[in-house]
Amino acid sequence: MQLGPNNFNLQDHAKKLIDQHLVAFNKFLFFLVFRTGNDVHTYAMVPQDHKVLQQVINKTLAQYEEQFGPIPSPPGAIPSPIDVSDLGGRGNGKGSHDKKPKD
């Protein structure tokens, strides 16, 4: 099913607040890791889909800031508490994973 405004009602679905996130990648996939309370959810996307997601986020962020004003940037880099070594990379927390995922 393709999600769209005509077949998806946001009010019909439970929402979880993401309190931490991490994005990592290797040559083949992007990994999006979201923590909600004590639950951690990891999703993988091919680079083309990740690029589309980035474009959608940039567009909706611009719309939000146009309506509500600029969002202040956080002060400095926030280190990730998640060990990403099991995602197939070096686990340096910087998202620069260039090794092929483990089978």
DSSP 2-43: ---TTT--GGGS------EEEEEE-SS-EEEEEEETTEEEEE
Q: Is residue 53 part of a domain?
A: yes
Per-residue confidence (pLDDT) for residue 81, from 0 to 100 = 59
Look at the pTM and tell me if it is higher than 0.95.
no
Compute the distance between CA of residue 8 and CA of residue 10 in angstroms, rounded to an integer: 6
Specify the DSSP class assigned to residue 101. P
For the stretch 22-31, pLDDT in tens is 999 999 999 9
Q: Is residue 95 part of a domain?
A: no
Per-residue confidence (pLDDT) for residue 13, from 0 to 100 = 81
Q: Is residue 77 part of a domain?
A: no
Q: Is residue 87 part of a domain?
A: no
Query: What residues make up the domain containing 24?
Result: 17-70
Q: Is residue 48 part of a domain?
A: yes
Q: Is residue 38 part of a domain?
A: yes
Closest to 24 measured CA to CA, from 15, 14, 34, 16:
34
Per-residue confidence (pLDDT) for residue 72, from 0 to 100 = 87
Per-residue confidence (pLDDT) for residue 97, from 0 to 100 = 42
Q: Give the other-Cβ count within 10 Å of 89's Cβ.
A: 21
Task: Please count the structural domains in the chain.
Answer: 1
Q: Is residue 101 part of a domain?
A: no
Residues of the chain with pLDDT under 50: 90-101, 103
Per-residue confidence (pLDDT) for residue 98, from 0 to 100 = 43
